[in-house]
Amino acid sequence: MAVGGLLPGLVSPAGGAAAWLPCHELFASWHHWLPSLPRLRPPASDGFKLLFVLLLFSAALAEVRYIASSSMAPTLRPGDRAVAEKVTYLFRRPSIGAIVFFKVPSAVQNYGVNKDVVFIKRVLATPGDFIEVRQGQLIVNGIALKEHYTATHASYTREAMRLPEGHVFVMGDNRNNSCDSRAWGPLPIANIVGRYMTSFTKSSFQ
């Protein structure tokens, strides 16, 4: 049975889980950081109507998502807009290193987070892989991954586990400030709704 809401086999540093894996804070306040999206005004001409139809069609292929937290820093920062492409994973499963958008798993929904809330994390292990962490060093199938994209090094240990079929292991690049598979377990691939393509910084909108 998990201790303190964490998965068995996860050993947190002396500061306690809340100091580096802030799931409890997120669960308590998730509705406060959901962005207020601007309302669309009705189109004023046939040209705008055509554009609106094209936008609706393109929305079936990709969409822009607002980055609300620092869990993926330094790759993505709060206020950034990230483009989620929604076609690729209809034909193949995610690979290690891919950044994905996904609906929160049932373990997170049990804390009161709406099932339609979307997180963004990086895939670090795929079905059948063995994953473990030794003093912050991620090891997949016995090989230490070279992670140039992470923020400040985190000191934690994860006992080896094998991922079940149909699941991936995801973590935020900001390991000290991410609620991810370390807390709620492997992510069902069926929950994934898009693949990260590119992003626009907050300054681009100012």
* Helix, strand, or coil (residue 187): strand
- CB 7, CB 163: distance < 8 Å: no
Q: Which of 94, 76, 75 is nearest to 85 (CA)?
A: 94
**Sign of the dihedral defined by the CA atoms of residues 74, 113, 194, 9, in that order:** positive
Based on the residue annotation, tell me whether 202 is a catalytic residue of this protein: no
* Helix, strand, or coil (residue 47): helix
Based on the residue annotation, tell me whether 71 is a catalytic residue of this protein: yes
Phi-psi region of 98 (alpha: psi -120 to 50; beta: other; left: phi over 0): beta
DSSP notation for 150-184: --S----EEEEEEPPTTEEEEE-SSGGG--SHHHH
* HSE value, Cβ hemisphere, 13 Å, CA-based, for 97: 5
Active-site entry in 71, 178, 181, 199? 71
Active-site entry in 12, 69, 103, 121? 121
- Where do we find the tokens 């992510």? 187
How far is it, in rounded angstroms, from Cα 71 to Cα 121? Answer: 8
The catalytic residue positions are: 71, 121
